[in-house]
Amino acid sequence: MKLLLLLMVLSILTGCATSQAIKGEYEPPMAVKNSTYKEFDTIPKPMMGKVSVAVYSFKDQTGQRRPSSTQSSFSTAVTQGAEAFLIKALRDVGNAGWFDVVERVGLASLTQERQIVRQMREAYEGADAKKLQPMRFAGMIIEGGITGYDTSVRSGGSAARILGIGPSTKFSEDIITVSLRAISVNTGLVIAAVNVQKTIYSTADSLAILKFYDKGTQVFEFESGLTLNEPGSLAVKSAIEAAVVELIKEGERTDVWDFKEEVISEVEITPLKPTSEYIDIIEEVEPVLNTTFGQGN
């Protein structure tokens, strides 16, 4: 009987401990989400029009390996393809109204393909073969990288047990740092530079049960848990988007560019003119009104 009661309590508490998994997609609080995600799309466009920029690389400069308590890990803690996030952020910021990104990450492949096209056209069309359009150059280079990854900056938890039954929770915070700078191709000067930090959250909830029965000769032990880790790639993407927004603001503060002022056009309101149908209705209703209320009252 005691064992049956214990199993019933176990099923109820296990459902409570694992209910976090059915609440929907886990969305940990992000320091840059509330402010940056709104500005990323709504930031005003530049006064001088789109800026042509080039991204050659955006590398992981931390050297951090994925943490493991059981074995050595050769997997990196952060993504090695962060330039893809940077290029996407530069293209999309301000509803795609800020930057034209020219291809430089795969420049060798691009020039080789252009050479193949040029040779094939000359082979089939001769000296009068149509030439390729000249490649577009960039007026600005965007450089930077992932410069910091600090693990377990803050960690902690709590637990409580009554009669050997109780839940526990743990959490930890990591911080990733992204650096971004804009370099003028004409002068080589760094015209804007920013550093952005993003917090990565991890949580672990568990339930443990330890009970002795049959006069202490038998023991029942149970443990269940759920761990949620914010994806590192999502944190890198968020930090890069925040850095792009801050880079635009820094350029505006240093007079590199100006925001375009939004002009709200005045809407001219035209008064409505009575139509022929409206006039006919008035002529039909007017005698009735005069008879009912008296003409001139």
73 SS3 class: coil
Q: What is the domain count for the chain?
A: 1
Domain presence at residue 269: no
The pTM of the full predicted model, rounded to 2 decimals, is 0.71
What distance separates the 2 farthest-apart alpha carbons in the chain? 108
Check: CB of residue 237 under 8 Å from CB of residue 85. Answer: yes
Flag whether pLDDT at 172 surpasses 80: yes
pLDDT of residue 61: 83
Domain span at 220: 2-253
Gap between the Cα atoms of 43 and 77, Å rounded: 32
Flag whether pLDDT at 293 surpasses 70: no
Domain presence at residue 291: no
pLDDT of residue 291: 61
Domain presence at residue 287: no
Domain presence at residue 221: yes
Least confident of 143-152, 160-169, 183-192: 160-169
CATH number for the domain that contains residue 104: 3.40.50.10610
Domain presence at residue 293: no
pLDDT of residue 51: 92
Q: What is the mean pLDDT of residues 19-45?
A: 55
Domain presence at residue 24: yes
Residue 169 neighbours by CB under 8 Å, 6+ apart: 157, 158, 159, 203, 204, 205, 206
Q: Which of these, 89, 103, 138, lies nearest to 245 by C-alpha position?
A: 89
Flag whether pLDDT at 209 surpasses 80: yes
User: With 0-12 CB in 10 A as exposed, 13-18 as middle and 19+ as buried, what is 217?
Assistant: exposed
**For the chain, what is the mean pLDDT?**
79
Domain presence at residue 137: yes
pLDDT of residue 18: 44
Task: Dig out the tokens for 16 from the structure.
Answer: 């409570």
Give the model confidence (pLDDT) of 87-113 as tens digits: 999 999 988 999 999 999 999 999 999
Gap between the Cα atoms of 283 and 274, Å rounded: 12
Quote the Cα angle for 124-129-133, to 5°: 125
Give the model confidence (pLDDT) of 41-78 as tens digits: 888 989 888 999 999 999 888 877 666 555 555 667 78
Domain presence at residue 262: no
